[in-house]
Amino acid sequence: MMKKYHPDTMLNSIAVTVAAFAVLLHGVTCLDNGLALTPPMGWLAWQRYRCITDCVTYPDECVSEKLFMNAADLLVSEGYADLGYKYVIVDDCWLSKNRSADGKLEADKTRFPSGIKALSDYVHSKGLKFGLYQDWGEKTCAGYPGVLGNEESDIKQFVEWEVDYIKLDGCYSDVRDMDKGYVEFGKLLNKTGRPMVYSCSWPAYQEDKGMRINYALMAKHCNLWRNYGDIDDSWTSVMSIADYFALKQEFWAQHAGPGHWNDPDMAIPSVSKSQMAIWAVLAAPLLMSNRLSAVRPEFKEILQNAEVIKVNQDALGIQGTRVFRDKGIDIWTRPVEPVHRGNYSYAVAFVSRREDGAPYPYKITLEDLGLNHHIGYTIKRFFLSRKALDALVLDC
């Protein structure tokens, strides 16, 4: 039995692997493009850089080829790529305000003077993957040309640019048509023969309108999908997303698996152990949105925790759930490998939501978490401090 749990700080959480023997094997099927068999990992500009287009005032922060080339450089030089962070994803505001005379998409010539193909080539030269944003609407969310009415010709350009990942937003479109439109767009992507991860936003828009969402259809046609509003760089935002995922978990979790993932959004610049632990248990895409040249050491340590990344990338692809909540303590569990004689191991995230900053003793039994096998348990700590670990006692 666990005698005590002492959170060290208000954001302290741990993810541990518990060898357990009580769950049946779970089978999943994957999207037929064969991609994203584990949650995609990489760097996405939006949360940190939004739509900064003034490169005179903000030369290092505007949405430009320089920003994404630097991100590619730093993913490699700072060790992120070696841990699986492979995608460099351009978000909104890369386009010119109008299409070319022949109806093609064009990058802003001032901010992307070399063009998208050159940027894609640069990212690929670093051994990374290149992602690009578009919108299934007349305009993108920031008012640039969308794909609606030009789907086939735009996808042809994506192939010519050797894009590896498409994020398709849903502004300026009819949510009632998204089930058909997003599916058709995905079919066109697959028809090209070029492997492109397909990130869909349609459930977030339908969820906002209170519509019933066909997740079975989505899992068949999208590699990942956003279910909720955009994250911002705050503890409140992270926990509101976690709470919403917990509210919907019985329905959402069954549709996640290799090739198709629920996406709670990006890892924020001030990423906490709590966010990293919850995202790992949720089998969420790990897409950082930060200034890679200025990541504080404690945040870099969190983002590069190989054991937590291993949980996130677990090959079984089973989304975890919140199983316990009491007095500011949340506990999440996820079945993971190794599987022994048809029974799972488990990743367990203990998350303190308390904001008083003081150590807080809390007693809970493993049986409360559904971990009650008579043989016993082996615990491996990923985030827990030695002091907190010493406060845990297991009776087997």
Question: Is 73 designated active site?
Answer: no
| CA–CA separation, 232 and 242 (whole Å) | 13
Count CB-CB contacts under 10 A for residue 51.
Answer: 17
Q: Which amino acid is at 183?
A: V
- Token output for 260: 């198709």
| CA–CA separation, 344 and 18 (whole Å) | 9
Exposed/middle/buried for residue 311 (C-beta within 10 Å: 0-12, 13-18, 19+): buried
| CA–CA separation, 286 and 32 (whole Å) | 22
3 state DSSP class of 286: strand
Q: What is the CA radius of gyration of the chain?
A: 21
Closest CA to 348 of 329, 388, 325, 321: 321
Exposed/middle/buried for residue 188 (C-beta within 10 Å: 0-12, 13-18, 19+): middle
Dihedral sign, Cα of residue 252, residue 258, residue 29, residue 175: positive
> Sheet of 286-288: strands edge to edge?
261-263, 224-226, 197-200, 165-169, 129-135, 87-90, 41-44, 286-288
Helix axes 116-125, 65-77, angle to 10 degrees: 10
Query: Which positions ≥6 away from 238 have C-beta within 8 Å?
Result: 231, 268, 272, 274, 275, 278
Catalytic residue of the set 73, 230, 233, 243: 230
3 state DSSP class of 120: helix
Question: Is 169 designated active site?
Answer: yes
- 8 A C-beta contact, residue 120 and residue 74: no
Catalytic residue of the set 92, 135, 169, 314: 169
- 8 A C-beta contact, residue 249 and residue 301: no
- 8 A C-beta contact, residue 207 and residue 228: yes
Pairing of β 321-326 and β 329-340: antiparallel
- 8 A C-beta contact, residue 181 and residue 167: no
Residues with catalytic annotation? Answer: 169, 230
